[in-house]
Amino acid sequence: MPADEGGEGRLGGRAPLIGCGGVFAVLALLGFGVAPYAKLRAVEEQRAVELHLEAELAEQGLSVDAAALIPAALPSEDLARVTDALAIVEGLSADEKELIKLYWNGAFARPPDAVEAGAHLLAQPRRLGRAKAALRASLAPIGSALDLALRHESLGLDFERVGGMVQLEDLFRVRDLILALCGRAVLAQQEGRPRQAWADLARAAEVVIALREPSLVGFNLRVAWGAFVAEAVGAALGWGPPPEGPVRARLHAALERFDHEPELSHAMRGVVLFVLDCVPAQRAEGQELWLDDSDYQLPFLGDLKWSEHRLELLRFFAEATRVARLPFLEARDGLAALEERALRGGGLSRQSFAQFSVILDLALRTRSQVRMARTALYLAEAAGAGELPHDLPDPLLGDPGSRASRPIQWRRLGPRHGRLWCVGANGSDEGGERAKDPREGPDQVFEVRLPGAPGARGGATKAD
């Protein structure tokens, strides 16, 4: 074969193969370029939808901007006052902390053998006395200085934040301060110092109200702390109501704010902020979302492609935010319907809403408990040294059918003893009856025992 023919033949024979390989190579290169571009384009389109969603919420007065949600920082002097109070409680001795736990577990209303925490103190009167004296001395600096900081509507503390949220350990430090104030209040009532006692309960209630953290975790803790204060009010009434004056007015004002503030919507907005800040928009393969140095995790995202579900999560919590601003019982019904709809679906929304009913039932129970504590205070103050009324004034606290809580009922059981109650989670009125353990009763019950009533812990008090 001629050289030129052979060469031409060899070249001609390979040309189709080279052409196909070239085409595949070009397509592959284009693919490597087009795929990232497509992903980037999808992220940009999603972000445009998210920005529109944020703008809609802002127009409805539900901004999810961090500046609108995170409490403004306290002035340096007031921040130091709160920080000092937290440090004092954190530095209490083991016996002093156990003494506070005695209050926490209701030890002062139960026989010693029913107490779990601090039982060794009750079994050793001398040690108990030393612990009381030490606790009085340790907590003595917490008073007027903390009052100055509590003049502000919110406590903007210098805690580290992730996605707008503070760490759980920092929130628990605030919880310990609330419990210490409640515990000291019960001890002060026991020792005949009513002004000190009710001032501490007013402070505890104000701390609960002022800690407005934008998260469902913060909301749940705030609800639990409100129950602590309501329980302490019931215990303290056994030694008599608060004396007339500024302290009584402070306590009433704080409890009323807890009853009416729409904090659930604030918490939902915080969740939207958290997702925007902490869930990446870039689509990725399945992996878990764990945030370094954060107690706030989203395990329900698990092995899902969580970045692909970011918009779904935002849409659901944006809708929940709108519903949560309604009067409380209406919000509860609306969120229950939203949860039911989510549970019928699949994927992320189904898992995200699994605990809403629990959160709302706990919040409703605490609101009712606080409302009964407020009612008990009014009854005790009206009775003074006399007898409790047979009937509740109507209306005692505004609209008795308020959609912020369940209607409250009253039964006088003696001149200085009565029972407030409202229906429990079963929705049935059991007439104020309950099991031996109050936590298991079908109705939510609040006992009102004033000095002189059977089982009341108080007696004559002395001046502070």
> Could you tell me if residue 331 is inside a domain?
yes
Same domain, 203 and 320: no
> Could you tell me if residue 311 is inside a domain?
yes
- For residue 185 the two structure tokens come to 């209040």
Beta bridge partners of 447: 419
Same domain, 343 and 198: no
**Residues present in the chain in total:** 464
Q: Of 337, 360, 383, which closes a domain?
A: 360
Q: Report which residue type is found at 308.
A: E
Same domain, 115 and 235: yes
Task: Report cis status (omega within 30 of 0) of the bond before 194.
Answer: no
Ordered strands of the 409-414 beta sheet: 409-414, 417-423, 443-449
> Could you tell me if residue 421 is inside a domain?
yes
Coil, strand or helix: which one is 420?
strand
Q: Of 336, 360, 384, which closes a domain?
A: 360
Same domain, 402 and 348: no
- C-beta atoms surrounding 299 within 10 Å: 9
Same domain, 236 and 368: yes
- Between the CA atoms of 19, 21, 24 and 30, what dihedral angle is there, to the nearest 10 degrees? -80
Residue 248: per-residue pLDDT: 92
> Could you tell me if residue 40 is inside a domain?
no
Residue 247: per-residue pLDDT: 92
> Could you tell me if residue 116 is inside a domain?
yes
> Could you tell me if residue 229 is inside a domain?
yes
Count of the separate structural domains present in the chain: 2
Same domain, 439 and 395: yes
Coil, strand or helix: which one is 412?
strand
Same domain, 254 and 283: no
Alpha carbons within 13 angstroms on the beta-carbon side of residue 18 total 6
Residues 443, 245: Cα–Cα separation, whole Å: 34
Helices (H) and strands (E) in the chain, counts: 16, 5
Same domain, 353 and 379: no
DSSP string, 357-390: HHHHHHHHHHHHHHHHHHHHHHHHHHHTTSPPPS
Same domain, 410 and 351: no
> Could you tell me if residue 14 is inside a domain?
no
> Could you tell me if residue 344 is inside a domain?
yes
Q: Of 333, 360, 387, which closes a domain?
A: 360
Same domain, 242 and 300: no
Same domain, 309 and 400: no
Residue-range definition of the domain harbouring residue 90: 68-261+361-449
From first to last of its 464 residues, the chain has per-residue pLDDT tens of: 444 444 444 334 444 444 555 544 544 444 445 555 555 666 677 788 888 888 988 888 888 888 888 888 899 999 999 999 999 999 999 999 988 887 766 545 555 555 566 677 878 889 988 998 999 999 999 999 999 999 998 888 888 887 777 888 889 999 999 999 998 998 888 888 999 999 999 999 999 988 888 888 888 888 888 888 998 898 889 888 998 899 999 999 999 888 766 578 888 888 888 888 877 665 544 444 444 333 334 434 444 455 566 777 788 888 888 888 887 778 878 888 887 777 766 555 555 555 676 777 788 888 888 889 999 999 998 888 899 988 886 555 555 455 556 678 888 999 999 999 887 766 666 767 764 544 455 778 888 998 877 766 654 333 33
Residue 403: per-residue pLDDT: 56
Same domain, 370 and 356: no
